[in-house]
Structure 1
Amino acid sequence: MTVFTWIILFTILGGMLSVLGASLVLFLPKKIITRMLPFSVSFATGALLSVSFVGLIPHALEEVGHENFHTLSITILGGLMFFFALEKMVLWRHCHHDDCETHVDVHAHGHQSAGSLILVGDSVHNFVDGVLIAAAFLTDIHLGVVTALAVTTHEIPQEIGDFAILLQSGFTRKKAILYNVISSFATLIGGLLAYFWLADFEHLLPYVLAFAAASFIYIAVADLIPTLHKRINLAAGVEQILLMLFGIGLIGWLHSFIH
């Protein structure tokens, strides 16, 4: 298959599988969903960190050469600041548990504005994911595959949180699924635009990969890990560490195996 075909396939799969996985989970009893979320968040944390430090950053360093290491590091730092600012502006909002500020606002106001805002933020998020997946595929097919898999592992717990907000905002289950499916196509749009743009600016690819790594690191460290600290007992800590190590190991193994 051509790189273009890979990008189309995995941006569609990445967006649709996460929505499908989240929507199927929503039909389970709430107690089971509550029990499953910490497992999936722990695994996603490890997977995102592994893709960043095992896949994206090493590839970016190989591409730029020694003389541009400093610029690449600044790109990662700038990316972390960018995503912090973006989240502050509530354009990018993740929620993986029921008692976060977004949910409190929904209970307090009881209207659809919070749900609509989630859809806008999710579309922006999906668009950026598409750009990152395309950049990884333009660098290396194998890197593209593991990057797309890491995006999907993160998206499922996020989509479950988004679904919960939409339902609490007054959306029906059907509408919540429909709007999230529509939002997922932003991943494909981002991938296609990145393919046609980055194909003519190959020298920018390492910096896009560094920016992608910053995105994944920020999500893991600033968003996912704080939710894991909600459970402070020893058994939960051991469980989280083991699942994170599993996510790290699986992505690392996939990266080596595909190569």
Structure 2
Amino acid sequence: MQLIAILTATLAAGIGSVWIAALLMRFGLGNGNRVGTQHLLSLAAGALLATAFMHLLPEAFEESHAHAHDLFPILLVGLVFFFLLDKAELWHHGHEHYDAHRAEASAHNHAHSGHDHHHGHQAAQTPGHPHGKKGGGWSILTGDSVHCFGDGVLIASAFMADMRLGIVAAVSVLAHEVPHHIGDLVVMNQTSVDRRVALIKVSLAGAVTALGGLVGYFLLNQLHDVLTYLLVIASSSFIYVALADLIPQLQKRLSAAETFAQVAWLVGGILIVTVVSRLAHVH
């Protein structure tokens, strides 16, 4: 029963978040819609912070006989680890961007050296040229798959501690993956000829969440003693994503009405996690 719940929740969080992102983009929300994106980011930040501070960390302390002095260093190490992971990813994408820019400059100079601007413009529009379909799609999918695998392990660890906690963690992962997958779909739509192909590719990457859940389930069955520490690491992941990735995108000069909307959606994310937790506890 527990394994079925983990697989169901990880598939819902991994693939469901992709389909919700695609649906929102179809209706214009998040795809160039600044206000809609801000609302989604606020909602996700609220859900992640509520899950970390109101559920994962309390559960970790309840599951463990360790003192706060033992668990809070793990939280700190987790935050630093995700910071370094983020820096590595930024460095990797920065190199890709530099290489693409250098290739484009080289092609531009080559076109001018032939004194045929019209021919150079036509070549720039071909799919193989940097001005055509953009590269980097497989890099996006690889990074997304690794990230989704980690989400699956974290969701599995939450389910192993408590069924209610697992559902809350899955909902929080889904909430913060929707804005993330909107970005993935935008990039993949630029690298794929067919939007349906792009959706299938990102959905397959999202499905890796279930693989992470499966691996997490069998590993945690063998290593139950590490469950407490995985819950703390999951907390550090959620806190880092909320404070370092989502909230900085919300820190802009806005009107009073827009600021109020941001806060309302943030509180909405907290309330969703609270309501889901209570409903799961009832059942």
- Does the 8 Å CA contact 2:29/2:36 hold for their aligned counterparts? no
Aligned pairs, how many?
A: 251
- Looking at structure 1, the residues matched to 191 and 271 of structure 2 have their Cα atoms a distance apart, in angstroms, of 38
What is the CA distance between 1:28 and its match in structure 2? Answer: 2.5
Query: Which position in structure 2 is the counterpart of 1:59?
Result: 59
Range moving further from structure 2, 13-22 or 229-238 = 229-238
What is the CA distance between 1:172 and its match in structure 2? Answer: 3.3
Bigger Rg over Cα: 2
Give the TM-score taking structure 2 as reference length: 0.81
Query: Which position in structure 2 is the counterpart of 1:98?
Result: none
Which secondary structure state, in structure 2, belongs to the residue aligned with residue 90 of structure 1?
helix
Instruction: Give ranges in structure 2 of 5+ residues lacking alignment.
Output: 105-129
- Does the 8 Å CA contact 2:29/2:37 hold for their aligned counterparts? no
Query: Which position in structure 2 is the counterpart of 1:23?
Result: 22
- Looking at structure 2, the residues matched to 12 and 92 of structure 1 have their Cα atoms a distance apart, in angstroms, of 30
Query: Which position in structure 2 is the counterpart of 1:187?
Result: 209
Which secondary structure state, in structure 1, belongs to the residue aligned with residue 222 of structure 2?
coil
Q: How does 1:68-83 map to 2 (within 5 A)?
A: 68-83=67-82
- Looking at structure 2, the residues matched to 30 and 50 of structure 1 have their Cα atoms a distance apart, in angstroms, of 24
- Looking at structure 2, the residues matched to 38 and 16 of structure 1 have their Cα atoms a distance apart, in angstroms, of 22
Which secondary structure state, in structure 2, belongs to the residue aligned with residue 199 of structure 1?
helix
One-letter code of the match for 2:272? L
One-letter code of the match for 2:232? A
Q: How does 1:66-105 map to 2 (within 5 A)?
A: 67-90=66-89
One-letter code of the match for 2:12? L
Query: Which position in structure 2 is the counterpart of 1:97?
Result: none
Instruction: For residues 105-157 of structure 1, give each alpha carbon's deviation from its aligned partner in whole angstroms, at most 9, with x where no partner exists.
Output: 79956464432221111111100000010000000000001110111011111
Q: Among residues 168, 172, 183, which one is paired with 1:150 in the alignment?
A: 172
Which secondary structure state, in structure 2, belongs to the residue aligned with residue 235 of structure 1?
helix
Query: Which position in structure 2 is the counterpart of 1:46?
Result: 46
Counterparts in 2 of 1:204 and 1:8: CA distance versus 1, 3 Å: same
Instruction: Give ranges in structure 1 of 5+ residues lacking alignment.
Output: 95-100
Which secondary structure state, in structure 1, belongs to the residue aligned with residue 177 of structure 2?
helix
Taking only the aligned residue pairs, the percentage that are identical comes to 37
What is the CA distance between 1:236 and its match in structure 2? Answer: 1.8
Give the TM-score taking structure 1 as reference length: 0.88
One-letter code of the match for 2:182? I
Range moving further from structure 2, 196-205 or 234-243 = 234-243
Which secondary structure state, in structure 1, belongs to the residue aligned with residue 89 of structure 2?
coil
Counterparts in 2 of 1:93 and 1:188: CA distance versus 1, 3 Å: farther
Which secondary structure state, in structure 2, belongs to the residue aligned with residue 232 of structure 1?
coil
